[in-house]
Structures are given as structure tokens and as C-alpha cells.
Amino acid sequence: MRYFCFMIIVVILSITVPVSAGYRELFEKEFLSKPWSSEILEESACVECHTSEAMPVELRSIPQEWQLSWHYQNDVSCHDCHGGDSTDATMSMSHKRGFTGTPKYTEVPEQCGKCHIGILEHYIESGHGKALKETGDGPNCVTCHGAHNIQQVSIDIINAQRCSKCHSYDRAKMMKQALFLTDEKIEKIDEDLKQLRSKGVYPEKEEKRLFDTQAKFRTLFHSIDVARVKSETDFYTEQLDSIEADVQKTYDQLAFRRKFSTFLMLIFAGSWIVASYISKSYKD
Ligand code: HEC
Ligand code: HEC
Ligand code: HEC
Ligand code: HEC
Ligand code: HEC
């Protein structure tokens, strides 16, 4: 009879454990294959010297701002933007080591565009990019995102204060309206995915799909072409609907697993009672 109970436990464990291990495995695989995640920030001579007493006071806030930024969290450091050698304090800022210094106002997009390639392409073709090139009047990346304190974006970057400096806010508002529904959908799916994570499920595949779709969609803004955003909205709605449906499936599976585990627990408890009753009466 002991053997019988033991077998029940083994069967239950073998049904429930692989389910959660599967998710963990998937998480580790996905996480390690993400670009940037494997590269751990080494000690940087730039950061060390720029936080030291040697620094003019007015420049000391820069590393502090950077440490609060989304770039910091993603291992994008001083030398990734300014060039130079972060491992050798004496030669760090030598042009021989690729140091490019502070970019001029008109050079900023090229600097950021080294990594944000798709965005640079849209930007260069846009009214903003052309104005920057031709008259120096267009906004550059820093005008809207900042340089050292860059955060994850939201549609609220488009606001009256920022967007009415050079022209009427009406144009900006039309763009915001065109982006609004798709943006809201992205936020909602993002919330749902966070919820799943908090329940111990790691929906990497959906997270990756959302990340890719969101990155493509948010690139589109930089064309500042309202008609274009409107005409591509159907495409993005379709993509997001499909991700949403898969997220819903995961929710349903989760509910099913919960019910199934309860069911197994009941069987287990029932078997235990029966088994101990039989073994007791057998001994008697
Ligand atoms: C994402 C790219 C990026 C990163 C990362 C970055 N910078 Fe900059 N930095 C810029 C840009 C663009 C400017 C010029 C625009 C501005 O001054 O706002 C600039 C300007 C500066 C300036 C000149 C400021 C002035 O007022 O003359 C200093 C000094 C500087 N950065 C140091 C650093 C240090 C130190 C780090 C690392 C802690 C760092 N930067 C990280 C993009 C970056
Ligand atoms: C040994 C100290 C030291 C190290 C190491 C150092 N810096 Fe600097 N850096 C300074 C000082 C001091 C200034 C201010 C110079 C001035 O105002 O004349 C400065 C100025 C700058 C500026 C603005 C002036 C310019 O030439 O455009 C940038 C950008 C910059 N540093 C980036 C970096 C980066 C990137 C690294 C690492 C690759 C780095 N620094 C390493 C001391 C250092
Ligand atoms: C060395 C590569 C690199 C450079 C140069 C760079 N970035 Fe980034 N940036 C990244 C990475 C990596 C991320 C994090 C992944 C992501 O969120 O897309 C990021 C994220 C961002 C985000 C947040 C995106 C989000 O998810 O909401 C903004 C905004 C941004 N960068 C703007 C800039 C601007 C402006 C510059 C130039 C001043 C710049 N970046 C220069 C690599 C770079
Ligand atoms: C530094 C100045 C400046 C700022 C700040 C600025 N713009 Fe512009 N914007 C321009 C210029 C210059 C043009 C192109 C010339 C024109 O059509 O007036 C333009 C054109 C536009 C257009 C029309 C494009 C077209 O092809 O019809 C839109 C839409 C727009 N901007 C949106 C925004 C939004 C949204 C913001 C805020 C996030 C913003 N702008 C902030 C300078 C600026
Ligand atoms: C006129 C203001 C403005 C300018 C100029 C601008 N951006 Fe943006 N950027 C935005 C807005 C607004 C969004 C969010 C769009 C949305 O929510 O759909 C955004 C989104 C982004 C994102 C997030 C994309 C993602 O993966 O989620 C990155 C990265 C970025 N910008 C980088 C840049 C770079 C690099 C430049 C310069 C070449 C630049 N931006 C110029 C306003 C601007």
C-alpha cells in the first residue's frame, strides 16, 4: 500500500513539474539569446573620471542622469555614443582611440542612428530631418528624447509644450490622434503580459513579438507623415490582434492548469484517505 501511495505521488509530480520547468527553460533560452543582455557593463574609465573631483561641477550631473536612463539598463555606455577607449584612463579621450567628442546639433541623428537604424531612415526623409539638414531648424533626437536621461518612450512625448516651439500644436495633435488607438492597444497587451509574468508564466514568444511590432510602429512616428501612419494602421492592428489572441490562449491554459491541479490534488487526497484506510484495515 505504501508503494501504491508513492506511485501516486510520483505520477502527480511527473504531471505538474515539467509544466513549470518548460516555461523556465524557455525563459532562459529567450533571455540569453536577446542582444545586449549578455554584455555586462564593465568598469568604465569614462564613468570613473567623470564622477570624480577632477570633473568641472557643471558636467558632474551627466553620469548621474545616465545611470537613471534606459540606456544604462541596456548596457549602452559613454563610449558607445562618444567613442573613445573606456578601458584606458590616460588615452580615453584620444581621437586615435575613436573619441568623437560632443556631437554638434546637426550631427546628433547620425550618432544615435548608428544603433537606431530604421528610425534614422524615417527621420532623414521627414520634414524634421530635411529642415535640420537644410536650415538647422528641425528638431534632432535630443530635442524630443534628451541625451543622457533617455527613458522608454510613450506617446506623451507629443505634448503642447514640446511640439509648439517651432510650429502650431495642431499638426502635432493630428499625429497624436493617428497614433492613439494603436498605441493604446500596445500598452494594453503589455499590461496583460506583465500580469502573466506576475502569475509565474513567462510568455517570451508573445513578448518578443510585441517588442518587434512596437519597435516598428514607433519608428513610423519619425516620418511625421500623418497620412502614412493612418494608411499603415490596419497592418499593425492585425499584428496586434494576433498577439492578443495568443495571450488570451495562454490565460485560458493557465486557468485550465489551475483547475487541473486542483482536480489532481483532490484525487491525491482521496487516494491517500482510501489507501491509509485499506492499509489500516489490512493491518487489523
Ligand atoms: C545615447 C548616447 C549618449 C550616451 C550614452 C552618453 N552621451 Fe554624452 N552626449 C550625447 C549627446 C547627443 C550630447 C550632445 C547633446 C547635449 O549636450 O545634450 C552629449 C554631450 C556630452 C557632454 C558635453 C556636455 C556639455 O554641456 O558640453 C559630455 C561631457 C558628455 N556628453 C559626457 C558623457 C558621459 C561621461 C557619458 C557616460 C556617463 C555620456 N556622455 C553618455 C550622447 C550620449
Ligand atoms: C581622466 C579623466 C577622464 C577620463 C578617463 C574621461 N574623461 Fe571625458 N572629460 C574629462 C574632463 C576633465 C572633461 C572636461 C574638459 C573641459 O571642459 O575642457 C571631459 C570632457 C568630456 C566631453 C565633453 C568635451 C568634448 O571634448 O567633447 C565628453 C563628450 C567626454 N569627456 C566623454 C568621455 C568619454 C566617452 C570617456 C571614455 C571613453 C571619457 N570622457 C573619459 C575627463 C575624463
Ligand atoms: C550603441 C547603440 C545605441 C546608441 C548609439 C543609441 N542607442 Fe538608444 N537604445 C539602444 C538600446 C540597446 C536600447 C534598448 C532597447 C530598446 O528599448 O530598443 C535603446 C533604447 C532607446 C530608447 C527607448 C526605446 C523604448 O523602448 O522605449 C530611446 C528613446 C533611445 N534609445 C534613443 C536614443 C537616442 C536619442 C540616441 C542618441 C542620443 C540613442 N538612443 C543612441 C542603443 C543605442
Ligand atoms: C525645433 C523645432 C521643432 C520642434 C520642437 C518640433 N517640430 Fe515639427 N516641424 C518642424 C519643422 C522645421 C517642420 C517642417 C517645416 C514645416 O512644414 O513647417 C516641422 C513639421 C512637422 C509636421 C508636418 C510634417 C509634414 O510633412 O507636413 C508634423 C506633423 C510635426 N512637425 C510634428 C511635430 C511633433 C509631434 C513635435 C513634438 C513631438 C514637433 N513637430 C516638434 C520643427 C519642429
Ligand atoms: C519631434 C520629436 C522626435 C524626434 C525629433 C525624434 N523622436 Fe524618437 N520618438 C518620438 C515619439 C513621439 C516617439 C513615440 C512614438 C509612438 O509612441 O508611437 C518616439 C519613439 C522613439 C523610440 C522608441 C522606439 C521603440 O522601439 O519603442 C526610439 C528608439 C526613438 N524614438 C529614437 C529616436 C532617434 C534615434 C531620433 C533621431 C534620429 C529620434 N527618436 C527623433 C519623438 C521624436
Q: Is the CB of 183 under 6 A from ligand 2?
A: no
Q: Do the domain assignments include residue 134?
A: no
Q: Is the CB of 145 under 6 A from ligand 3?
A: yes
pTM value?
0.86
Query: Total domain count for the chain?
Result: 1
Task: Tell me the C-alpha distance between 63 and 47, whole Å.
Answer: 6
Residues 182, 183, 188, 190: is their CA dihedral positive or negative?
positive
Residue 162 domain boundaries: 154-284
- CA 126 to ligand 5 centroid distance, Å: 13
Our mutation pick for probing the ligand 3 site, out of 37, 68, 70, counting the most ligand atoms within 8 A of Cβ, is 70
Q: Do the domain assignments include residue 147?
A: no
Q: Do the domain assignments include residue 81?
A: no
State pLDDT tens for residues 123-160.
Answer: 999 999 999 999 999 999 999 999 999 999 999 999 99
Q: Do the domain assignments include residue 242?
A: yes
Q: Whose CA is nearest to atom 17 of ligand 5?
A: 155
Q: Do the domain assignments include residue 158?
A: yes
Q: What is the pLDDT of residue 281?
A: 76
Residues of the chain with pLDDT under 70: 1-42, 284
CA distances from 41 to 45, 76, 78, 90, 149 (A): 12, 8, 11, 20, 18
Q: What is the pLDDT of residue 26?
A: 40
Task: Tell me the C-alpha distance between 187 and 243, whole Å.
Answer: 13
Task: Tell me which residue of 253, 269, 121 sits closest to 200, measured CA to CA.
Answer: 253
Contact present, 138 and 131 (Cβ < 8 Å): yes
Q: Whose CA is nearest to atom 34 of ligand 1?
A: 78
**Ligand at shortest distance from the CA of 138:** 4
What integer best gives the mean pLDDT of the chain? 86
Across 30-42, b (16+ Cβ under 10 Å) vs e yields beeeeeeeeeeee
Q: Which atom of ligand 5 is nearest to the CA of 218?
A: 18
